Each structure stands twice: as structure tokens, then as C-alpha cells.
Structure 1
Amino acid sequence: MKKIGVLTSGGDAPGMNAAVRAVVRKAIFEGLEVAGIFNGYEGLIHGKIEMLQLGSVGDIIQRGGTMLRSARSSEFMTEEGRLKAKRQLKSHGIEGLVVIGGDGSFRGAAELVKLGVPCACVPATIDNDINGTQFTIGFDSALNTVIDAIDKIRDTATSHERTFIIEVMGRDAGDLALWAGLAGGAETILIPEVKFDLNEIITRLQSGSGRGKKHSIIIVAEGVMSATALSETLKAEAGIETRVSVLGHIQRGGSPSAKDRVIASQYGARAVEVLHEGRSGVAIGMQNHTVVDYDLDVVFKRSEDKLDKELYKLSKELSI
């Protein structure tokens, strides 16, 4: 193998640039050429490909977002679109591909693998919802952004003696809500993996008020319900007044944390090694503080085991 490509796809996550940097510099260290593919799979189909040098990735490790940019591609979801992508790779002499992204990006890579394109996948999503790895790139940065917001909102909640509902990202996975809720001292955490009991929430709020508690914080993942809907429900069912904050896309932006920069560097470098070893259909991740690689099929085997049940249990115990 003499030349590899790298692309970022799906939602952006802090640390993607650090991963791109690692791929480029590790590849050059190993004597490989590297092509940057812009705008994800859409850009691949349309040949938005440029050769990258050491200087191309200078001064990006601290930047959020992705220098290669990202885009959704409906065309890539068709067989003809994927065949176009394969032809572009061949015409540019690209013999292997590093895909940096989340579940949808990995599924795209799996389709290319079926067409004979060697792929190594690097998990980058703030949702931390990729099977086979404890941490994805961007999760820690987003978590710190959410915690910073919780701390600021708590100041106002205390001053005005109010209950605040904070909506965070997490369509199918509750890691961001769970970790942020525990770290931010939230009284209630609602995540997609666990059905919630409205009466329990009401009892918890009323009990706290009864013992003189002046404020409460509720964290709700967007996949459970909107913060506004929850606020209206609490008002209708128990007459409880709340205020709502939807954090939205600020969770995706900003400079990556030190942890995300480190794991992005590790994951990106390992992806290059995997391709250089002649392997394909591989995902990179972390288990027990060690970088690992595993079959891409593992990613698509959904299970409830991804949720840290002990962490969720602890959050309930500490929020009495």
C-alpha cells in the first residue's frame, strides 16, 4: 500500500482535526502518501480530493470541527453512488481509507468494504454510542461543555429558587446526559435506555421542596422527550413551574479537551497501522485504557450493555 485517504463524515465532534492530523503524520512517517477527502462521502463521490502534507495539518490539533468538513450524502446511500465513490478512489490511486465519524459513517465504510475497499474506522461522535469502545472522540469535550452550562444555570436556579430542565444531545444514547448529570449534581437524569416514571420525578421534586431545597436540575436527553414537553407535563400534572434550557449545537463545537486530543491521536495512528498491515473492515477504540481494534461488525450489534448501569444506579443514589 502506497497511498491512503482520510475523510470525516456525519456530525462533527471536537477532536476530529486531531485525528486527521494523526492519520496524515503517521502515514507520512510510515512512508505513505495521504489524500484528504473533503465533505465526507459526498465529496468522495464528486472527487473533492487533495494531497495532504505535514504542513497541511499544522496548527489544527486545538481546533474544533473538521478541516475536511462534513456533509450528508443521499447519493452514497445508493449502490450507484457507492460505485462512483469506489471509482474515484481508484482513479486517485487510493488503496485504503480511514473513515472518521459515527455509526452512519461506519455503515458507509462497511458498504465500501463489501466492494473491496480496505477501510479502518475511527469513532468520533459526542454521543459516545459506538459499540466496542469505551470512549469516542468528542465525548469528553462535549461533556465538559455541558457541565460548564449546568454550573452556570445552577447559579441562576439558586438565585431564583427554580427548577431548571436542561436538554442535551443524545437521540438513542444517554451517556452525555448521564455523565453530565452525575458530574453536575443533577437531581434527575432522563436517558433513552431507561424508561422514566413521571410520578417518581414529581415525588422527588416535592420531597426536595418539602425539606427546604431551593432549586433542582433535571437533565433530559433529547431522545427521551424535549425539555419543553417535560416542562409542560410537570406543570399540567403537578403544578410544578420549571424553566427550560436547550443547549443544542454548542455541545459539538469548541476546542477539544486534552483527553480527546490524546485519544484522537492514538486512534488515528492505529487506523493507519491497520491499513498498512493489509487489514480491512476494522474499527478502532479503547478498552481498559488500551487502544484496541476489532471487527466492524461488532459496531452494529446493538445491546443494552453499552450503558454503564452502575453509573446510572450511582446517579440515582446520590440524588436523593
Structure 2
Amino acid sequence: MENKTISRIGVLTSGGDAPGMNAAIRAVVRTCKYYNLESYGIYRGYEGMILNDIRKLETKDVAYILERGGTFLKSARSAEFRTTEGRKKAFDNLQKHNINALVVIGGDGSLTGAHLFFEEFGIPAVGLPGTIDNDLSGTDSTIGFDTACNTAIQAIDKIRDTASSHDRLFFVEVMGRDAGFIAINAGIGSGAAATLIPEKKMPVETLIERLKSRAKAKKQSNIVIVAEGGKSGGAMEISEKVRKILPGYDIKVTILGHLQRGGSPSSFDRLLASKLGVAAVEGLIQGKYDVMAGIINNKVVYTPIKRAIVDDKSVDEDDFRVAKILST
């Protein structure tokens, strides 16, 4: 498709929130201002697009949000946008505001929506990888992933204090329904006894042997990290299996849950989100449509959305090997 003249850019956040989304929104608005373009905030994601909850944004509207977690544009999942009729409503509302390009910040579902919208109505769109799961290809890290890892490790450090004080075995469940990036990073960073991720199945017998080995080595505490979607089951399920085999262990379970989504974004996530926000607007100006902006080897790259959401991105085998070595 030939390049269009971009004059008004709509920006939205969709799906699960991630620390750094506000930094990305801020970067989009300020970059629009730099290039004499108008920016519009679409509140509550695609649902807000359907409901015409769209407002013009000025630079003052994005002041003092760099350090805030979550997204001031709010986020929501929209069942109606999954229908052709819903997307037509959304398109008509964009037309009312003369919005002729989009920046969509979110995970694979959000970027899929941007791709469909471009295919059906020709609205140029650039997606930004805003998800703590780090499961989109086309970028080394997604917005929010670093902060989520830091939050998980800080929580695990506190849990270790009580685990050591009482010789307890803790199972800590982190987010990562389909990808074990948070779990493996938290496992290495916190010195976990074992890390269970969706990409690998660890038989309970293997885990038992590892725990017995650590007991012989007189390890003061044992913390097992479990990704919520692990092939071996969730933290509660695994803890019950271990309890039956090792009834003498004082076993506790902590599920970190949405704690990992919140909090002020790390310096890394602020920088990543800011760079990608600029890249999104500049990409649209340059005629890069239906792509996701990411950073690989410290360079901005544009990957077709279809490839970014379809290509498998899983935990590096070397990371898993390192975690195993360091858990002995």
C-alpha cells in the first residue's frame, strides 16, 4: 500500500497493563508534537474506540506520567471488536475524528487487532510490544518485562527471609501462562532451587531428588519458582504432590499474581518504552505500516505484526542450563 499523509495519530493501550505503557504514550504524544502532528488518546483500548471515548492529547496531558505504572489511557478487552461489525463501528469513530493512523500498545491479541484493522480498513498502524510476558518475537525485551522481573525477585528475596528462618520450602508462582521468561529470570536472579516453566516439563521425581540433594548439602532455604502455566502444573498442584512424598517438609505457597503488573517502571522499561514510542511515530511517517517496532541488539527494528505474533519465542536453552547449574 502506498504511503499516506499522516496528520492525526490515535494511541491506545489494550489487554493486560504493563509498567512502561505510560512512558510509551508520553513518547508518542511528544513525538507527534515534534513533527507537528496531532495525537488522540483512545481510552479503554478497542472498547473505547467502539464507544468513541477518544480525546485529543496535548503534551501537558502526559506530564508526570513517565514514572507511573499502569496506563492512564486505561485498558480493556473487547469482545465486540472481535466482530466485523464492531470493527466497523470503531473505524467510523476514527473517521469522525479524522484519525488516519494508530499506535497500538499491547500483547499479541492487541497487535492482532491492529493487523485486522489495517487489512480491513487500511488504517496504518504500528504496534508496540507492551506485555510483561516477553513473548513477542521481533524484540529482545517487551515493555514491562524488566519491571515484572524486578518485582518478582524483590518479592522472592523477602520470602527467602522467612524461608531461612523456619527451614521452609516455598513454592512461588509467577506470571507466564504460555512463556517462562519471568520465571527463568526470577529463578536465576533469586537463586531458586528449581524453576518450572511452560517450555519444559520437570517430573515431580526430578524435583524431589533435587530437594533431597540440597538437604544433604545443608541448604538453609528452598524456593521453587513456578510459571503459572507450567507443564508440570501450578504451584498449588505441585506443592501437594511434593507434600505427599515429603510429608516432613514445612511447605508454603505464594502466588504473586497481579503484583507483577504494578509498580513504577524500571529505568530500562522507561528507556525502552520511550525509544519505541518515538520509533512508532517515525515509522508511520516513513510509511512503515502493519508492523511492530522493537529493539534487537540495541537497534530499532520493524517486524511485520503477523510474524511478531506467530513466530515462536521461548526461553533460551542456555538460560535454562544456567538456572540448572546454579540451583545445585
The answer for the alignment partner of 1:85 in structure 2 is 90
CA distance in 1, matches of 2:148, 2:202: 24
| Counterparts of residues 248-259 of structure 1 (less than 5 Å) | 248-259=257-268
More displaced 10-residue stretch of structure 1: 234-243 or 283-292: 234-243
Q: SS at the partner of 2:139?
A: coil
The answer for the alignment partner of 2:111 in structure 1 is 106
Indicate if the aligned counterparts of 1:231 and 1:241 stay in contact, CA closer than 8 A: no
Q: Which of 280, 297, 318 is matched with 1:310 structurally?
A: 318
| Counterparts of residues 248-287 of structure 1 (less than 5 Å) | 248-287=257-296
CA separation of 1:277 and 1:6: change in aligned 2, threshold 3 A? same
Q: SS at the partner of 2:142?
A: coil
| Counterparts of residues 67-146 of structure 1 (less than 5 Å) | 67-115=72-120, 116-146=122-152
The answer for the alignment partner of 1:294 in structure 2 is 303
Please state if 1:12 is matched with 2:17: yes
| TM superposition shift of 1:212 | 1.8
With normalisation by structure 2, the TM-score equals 0.95
* Aligned positions, number: 319
| TM superposition shift of 1:198 | 1.2
| TM superposition shift of 1:44 | 0.3
CA distance in 1, matches of 2:258, 2:15: 14
Query: 1:146-179 deviations in whole A, cap 9, x for unaligned?
Result: 0100110001000001110000000000000000
Please state if 1:236 is matched with 2:244: yes
Flag as ranges the 4+ runs of structure 1 deviating above 3 A.
Answer: none
Q: SS at the partner of 1:306?
A: coil
Please state if 1:219 is matched with 2:219: no
| Counterparts of residues 56-67 of structure 1 (less than 5 Å) | 56-67=61-72
Q: SS at the partner of 1:242?
A: strand
| TM superposition shift of 1:238 | 3.5
The answer for the alignment partner of 2:196 in structure 1 is 190
Indicate if the aligned counterparts of 1:3 and 1:33 stay in contact, CA closer than 8 A: yes
CA distance in 2, matches of 1:76, 1:37: 14
- The one-letter code matched in structure 1 to 2:184 is L
Q: Which of 211, 215, 229 is matched with 1:205 structurally?
A: 211
| TM superposition shift of 1:299 | 1.3
| TM superposition shift of 1:302 | 3.2
Q: SS at the partner of 1:146?
A: helix
CA distance in 1, matches of 2:136, 2:292: 10
Query: 1:78-98 deviations in whole A, cap 9, x for unaligned?
Result: 111011111111111000000
CA distance in 2, matches of 1:197, 1:85: 48
Q: SS at the partner of 2:117?
A: helix
The answer for the alignment partner of 2:3 in structure 1 is none
- The one-letter code matched in structure 1 to 2:234 is S
- The one-letter code matched in structure 2 to 1:274 is G
Q: Which of 45, 53, 63 is matched with 1:40 structurally?
A: 45
Query: 1:18-71 deviations in whole A, cap 9, x for unaligned?
Result: 000000000110110001000000000110000000101000000000010001
Indicate if the aligned counterparts of 1:234 and 1:241 stay in contact, CA closer than 8 A: no
Gaps of 5+ in 1: none
With normalisation by structure 1, the TM-score equals 0.98
More displaced 10-residue stretch of structure 1: 239-248 or 56-65: 239-248
Indicate if the aligned counterparts of 2:12 and 2:42 stay in contact, CA closer than 8 A: yes
- The one-letter code matched in structure 2 to 1:30 is Y
- The one-letter code matched in structure 2 to 1:35 is Y
Query: 1:209-248 deviations in whole A, cap 9, x for unaligned?
Result: 1222232010000001221111111112343441101111
- The one-letter code matched in structure 1 to 2:245 is E
CA distance in 1, matches of 2:236, 2:303: 41
Q: SS at the partner of 1:51?
A: strand
User: Percent identity of the aligned residues?
Assistant: 50
Gaps of 5+ in 2: 1-5
Q: SS at the partner of 1:293?
A: strand
CA distance in 2, matches of 1:52, 1:173: 35
Q: SS at the partner of 1:263?
A: helix
Indicate if the aligned counterparts of 1:131 and 1:306 stay in contact, CA closer than 8 A: no
More displaced 10-residue stretch of structure 1: 144-153 or 282-291: 282-291
| TM superposition shift of 1:278 | 2.3
CA distance in 2, matches of 1:252, 1:43: 22
CA distance in 1, matches of 2:290, 2:314: 21
| TM superposition shift of 1:249 | 0.7
Alignment RMSD: 1.0
Query: 1:175-204 deviations in whole A, cap 9, x for unaligned?
Result: 000001100000100000111121110000
Indicate if the aligned counterparts of 2:178 and 2:198 stay in contact, CA closer than 8 A: yes
